[in-house]
Structure 1
Amino acid sequence: METPTEKKNSLNDMMRTAMEKVREMVDTNTIVGQPITTPDGVTLIPISKVSFGFGGGGGDYGKTPKENFGGGTAAGVKIDPVAFLIIKDGTTRVLPVAVPPVSTMDRVVEMVPDIMDKVEKYFDKKEAKEFE
């Protein structure tokens, strides 16, 4: 039978374990990756953006000592590539990696130049027919 203090420690242990797992996934090697050297002497170093979230909770469901304790924890990690550092002949350059649009608004903004080109071509064709 667990005492209230033991139940509290169980929740603490669950949260501590979840945080340790997040810490294992999110380290400096995840953000700045290991250098990759190509046969022609170019060194590539991947750079990533790491986001993570964590939550936990628990409860004591009864007033008698025989009642069970319930608890849970969760963690999530998201890794997005951002850029590559390219080192060649002593010169370092940054090559950004384009992240695909996430939301509908991002997609619409990305499509605007193509739509404008199509509309412009339509009006140009219409004007050309009028002058014929």
Structure 2
Amino acid sequence: MSDHPIQGLMKTAMENLKEMVDVNTIVGDPVETPDGSVILPISKVGFGFAAGGSEFVLEGSPKTPTETEKKHPFGGGSGGGVSITPIAFLVVNGQGVNMVHLDQNTHLYEKLLDFAPQVVDKIQQMIQSNQSSGQSQGSTGQDAQDININVDND
């Protein structure tokens, strides 16, 4: 079975898009600074693709075409686009790994995850202090302690 002309259009467009988008597009090439830090750019990549075509019947063609007349003229086109948006930088240095976001308003969940270890530490401290003070605090009604966590908008 021979390939349809639209398959050639789609194959060509997809191969060209594949060449444009690779893993280094999302996580960019590392850049080393003079102080030894390594900075990796992180990007959001989106792409779209469209293809279409049509076969045309010639006027005056017989209702029962011969084998050579079964192929109709074909017209088609395809297109695609890629959008690359930088969203953050990953900074790796002697003090650890830090994510520097370019849009601070969209990263609430990540901030909550960053503060989870602090919350667990505070809860463990509260439980340990309650166990060390014995049952006397329980009878006075002073079981709860304040948990203070500072949230900075970096």
Q: Same fold (TM over 0.5)?
A: yes
Give runs of aligned pairs for residues 62-81 of structure 1, distance below 5 A.
62-63=57-58, 64=61, 65=69, 68-81=73-86
Letter in 2 for 1:23: K
Identity %: 44
Q: CA deviation at 1:23?
A: 1.1
Structure 1 spans left out of the alignment, 5+ residues: 100-132
Aligned equivalents of 2:31 and 2:8: distance in 1? 39
Aligned equivalents of 1:25 and 1:90: distance in 2? 35
Task: Please report the TM-score for the alignment, with normalisation by the length of structure 1.
Answer: 0.64
Q: Are residue 89 (structure 1) and residue 84 (structure 2) matched?
A: no
Aligned equivalents of 2:86 and 2:49: distance in 1? 21
Aligned equivalents of 1:80 and 1:43: distance in 2? 21
Match of 2:21 among 26, 31, 53: 26
Q: Which has the higher strand share?
A: 1
RMSD of aligned alpha carbons: 2.2
Q: Are residue 49 (structure 1) and residue 44 (structure 2) matched?
A: yes
Letter in 1 for 2:6: L
Q: CA deviation at 1:98?
A: 2.9
Task: State the SS of the aligned residue for 2:25.
Answer: helix
Give the aligned length. Answer: 94
Q: Once the two structures are superposed, what CA deviation does each residue of 1:1-55 show, in whole Å capped at 9, x if it has no partner?
A: xxxx55x2x2101101101111111111100111110122110000000010001
Aligned equivalents of 1:67 and 1:12: distance in 2? 16
Q: CA deviation at 1:90?
A: 5.0
Larger Rg: 2
List, as ranges, runs of 4+ consecutive aligned residues in structure 1 with deviation greater than 3 Å.
63-67
Structure 2 spans left out of the alignment, 5+ residues: 62-68, 105-154
Q: Once the two structures are superposed, what CA deviation does each residue of 1:30-82 show, in whole Å capped at 9, x if it has no partner?
A: 00111110122110000000010001011111145485310100100000001
